[in-house]
Amino acid sequence: MPLVDIDGDHFGTESSFRGTAWRGKDCDDFSSKIRPGARSVMGDYVVDHNCNGIFGMNSATNKPWEEELCNDTQRMGIAVLGDSVSAHFHIPEQWLDARQLSVGAFEHLVYIIGNELDWPQLSGTTGHINNTWPNIEGKFNTRNMIM
């Protein structure tokens, strides 16, 4: 839950604990209808209702950008039971090995603790981005990326 959530939609505009890095941030904390995951309204030609960064009109086709870029995509998902297991719970090896311990090993400490040592964006089930973290190693191939 965000520390500050004016509209009560469970999304805030500031980074906070409990996964804002992968849940998304609210792009308008004064309207509960505008939040990550909301359905677009009239193609989001004026306001970005789902906070995906796509709104406005294509002047060449006179169609909303949301319609042009997102209409041919389908919603896909996987239901998973289990919190940290499905969220790729991971403690960086550098934190546990005295030979690797250094100031650099804790460079992303606040982000990692803020997400409760979970990395759902990198998990085998719910992952949706490529691994660019220096302290997570191994092959990255998820069901979401395959779909």
Active site residues per annotation: 84
Nearest to 125 by CA among 87, 92, 83: 87
The terminus-to-terminus CA distance of the chain in angstroms comes to 30
The vertex-62 CA angle with 57 and 64, nearest 5°, equals 40
Evaluated on CA atoms 111, 115, 118, 124, the torsion sign reads: negative
Nearest to 114 by CA among 12, 33, 7: 12
Enter the tokens of residue 3: 């520390």
